[in-house]
Chain A
Amino acid sequence: MSISATTAETETTVEPVKKESSKRLWLLAPGVIWMLLFLVTPILMMIYVSFWTQTTFKITPDLTIKSWVTFFTTDTYLSALWTTVRIWLIVLASTLVVGYPAALYVGLFVKNKTIQTALLVLCVIPFWTSFLIRVLAWRPMLGKEGAINLILQGLGIINQPIEVLLFSELSVIIGMTQIYCVFMVGPIAFMMGRIDQSVIEAAQDLGAGFWRIFRTIILPLTMPGVVVGAIFVSVMVLGEFATAAALSGRKVNLLGNIIVTQVGSLKWAFAAVVGVVLTVLMGVVVAALLRVVDLRKEL
């Protein structure tokens, strides 16, 4: 009798549970509406506009692939695409080279949690000033009569100022590495902090030296951090235009810079083409990075 009673009870409770879960879906509504209005619609608009007809002074919604053909047949634009990819790869590599050891130190060798947090906060301090100031501050550092050249000359290491330091691809890379490095350090340090100290001691006890432990234990366990950091850096660098504009003296044109110029001269259709190319590029990069590590499994 008691069994039949419980069955009856379960049956009656099924209905409210269903209603309950459909009510919960409403929690998603604000986010979904926001994303539809301000992300999905603009992207669709951008794709649509990229096929509009552009004349010097006006743009009409007659569909054409002229802007697309122009993009893929003009050297300037193709070389901007290539520059963007090249600078992205170099900055990704340099943030990793600078960031990984720092994260290794903070996450693994600093035992005191307070000092660990303090060091990570230290990484974020540059972000207390505005983006533009951070970029422009590199000019008096790198310039022909900038701090670095003056110091090197004062020490007698060089006779003539190194001109390549400012208004070159190098200065863009230096600037971007400094700005985006912290986005690499953060996720890696987080994964380092999650490695159980006794796991490393166990590896030591089994006879492995530091480099072996690094290669077989630490590196694989921090790969998710590297991937997350790489996604952060990639998305930001690929969409960059300000650092290149401020530090390259217009010598380095990224896709972002082209969009800014085209929008400035009201060439909406062409700007939309570049926008679509950039979006696809980012999508491919993020998808490829996610292939490296199964983040859902690791986090």
Chain B
Amino acid sequence: MSSVLKLAGVTKAYGTLNALDGIDLSLPNDSYVSLLGPSGSGKTTLLRVIAGFEQPDLGTVIFKGQRIETVPPHRRDIGFVFQNFALFPHLSVSRNIAFGLENRAENSVTDPDIVQARVKEMIALVGLSGLEDRGVGQISGGQRQRVALARTLVTEPSLVLLDEPLGALDANLRARVRSELRLIRERCGVTFLHVTGSESEALAMGDMVLVLDSGRIAQAADADTIYNRPKSLSVASFLNCYNLFEGRLAGESFLSPYGAFPLGDQMQFRDDRTGYAIRYDRVAIRPAEVPAADDEVRLEATFVADEYSGAAINSFFSLDDGRVFEVESHLSQSMPPACTPQSRYTLVWKRRDALVYA
């Protein structure tokens, strides 16, 4: 698949802080890419560099085969959907959507009938029919987001950047807009780069998921690979579904502060730090003093509390130094034993389910 956007070595510093520290990435045509990064990882800066609101200090940005670092934003043909939507407060819904067609510097549409027709088509696509003449202050948050999206899509950009597009919506609406965004993108056939701080959103939305960590792309892969085989300890920590331990390797064991975890058949990755990761839902809870089987790893901890979420129960255990260890038990598979707070339990997992970084 050919790529619509390529970044090589893009660096941007604010004072002594490197917001972007050598970004290399390539976005394929006609796909949904999500970019996961914790706050402060440089997500917004990266989007602003791509859109042209910021100039990179170093590196190249190649869009549809052309270098565009010095092209001003209004000549880039890249759409940007702002987190706060940034609608024009003095214009109606349909005037907002018509803005780009009528006012762009390059091949603006001067025939009002054509503008009218394309705006109408776009309003139907995003499901805003009947609200054409409303002011943007008179519609709901979800509708405003659609206006923002429609306003961008109507100009037919080859790439649309979405800066935490679901952040301003409530949870109910978020789930619905998620699937709508994917549908709309498929119909338009453009590439979406969706930036988010939520791991579940990133995994659910992206055909490809990029993970941004302190100004670098830490991993770029499909959602399944990211979730099951995070390439580094920091990627694993962003996913919010791994218990992580730092320590060192010694022979056939990983030495954690809580004892030695025997190794065998586990997946191993290169990383600057030495660490051990086990997914919340790979751990089983057993009564205290139960020994582990040959292919298992065992850890004792004190039960603190649990959280019921319908399909699963998340149980929180406190390790000997007070650190929290989380276990997710899927209720469709087995009911976890009823745990008593402040009692000791044994936590076991298969050796081959662990991920080791060194």
Contact = CB atoms under 8 A, between A and B. Distances in A.
Nearest to A212: B103
A207 interface: yes
B74 interface: yes
B86 A206 contact: no
Interface residues on A, range: 10 to 19
Interface string B86-98: 1111100000000
Contacts of B315: none
Interface residues on B, range: 20 to 34
Given A196-B86, A201-B82, A204-B72, 13 more contacts: A199-B86, A201-B80, A203-B88, A204-B53, A205-B78, A205-B79, A206-B74, A206-B104, A207-B75, A207-B103, A207-B106, A209-B105, A217-B90
Interface of A: 196, 198-199, 201-209, 212-213, 216-217, 220-221
A202 B86 contact: yes
Contacts of A206: 74, 79, 99-100, 103-104, 151-152, 155
19 contacts: A198-B84, A201-B73, A201-B86, A202-B80, A202-B82, A202-B86, A202-B88, A206-B74, A206-B79, A206-B100, A206-B104, A206-B151, A206-B155, A207-B74, A207-B100, A208-B99, A208-B104, A212-B103, A220-B90
B51 A203 contact: no
Contacts of A196: 84, 86
**Majority-rule SS of B interface residues:** loop
Contacts of B75: 207
B53 A212 contact: no
B74 A199 contact: no
A205 B88 contact: no
B74 A209 contact: yes
A198 B80 CA distance: 10
A25 B266 CA distance: 78
Contacts of B51: 201, 205
Contacts of A208: 74, 99-100, 103-105
Contacts of A201: 51, 53, 73, 80, 82, 86
A221 to B, nearest CB: 6
B167 to A, nearest CB: 14
Interface string B108-135: 1000000000000000000000000000
A204 B105 CA distance: 10
A197 to B, nearest CB: 9
A217 B155 contact: no
Contacts of A205: 51, 73-74, 76, 78-80, 152
B90 A207 contact: no
Interface string B19-58: 0000000000000000000000000000000010100000
Contact of A204 (B73, B77, B84): B73
Given A204-B73, A204-B74, A207-B105, A216 B99 contact: yes
Contacts of A203: 88, 99, 103
Contacts of A221: 89-90
A206 B122 CA distance: 15
A276 to B, nearest CB: 39
Contacts of B86: 196, 198-199, 201-202
A217 B80 contact: no
Q: Counting chain B CB atoms within 10 Å of each CB, which of A205, A206, A213, A220 scores highest?
A: A205
B49 to A, nearest CB: 13
- For the complex of A and B, the 7 pairs showing the least CB-CB separation, nearest first, are A207-B104, A206-B100, A198-B86, A202-B86, A208-B103, A205-B80, A209-B105
Contacts of A207: 74-75, 77, 100, 103-106, 108, 155
B35 to A, nearest CB: 18
A204 B104 CA distance: 8
Q: Counting chain A CB atoms within 10 Å of each CB, which of B80, B88, B104, B155 scores highest?
A: B88
Nearest to B151: A206
Contacts of B103: 203, 206-208, 212-213, 216
B252 to A, nearest CB: 56
Interface in B308-328: none
Nearest to B51: A205
A76 B151 CA distance: 60
Interface string B277-300: 000000000000000000000000
Contacts of A198: 82, 84, 86
B137 to A, nearest CB: 10
Contacts of A212: 103, 105
A108 to B, nearest CB: 15
A207 B82 CA distance: 15
Nearest to B161: A205
A263 B74 CA distance: 62
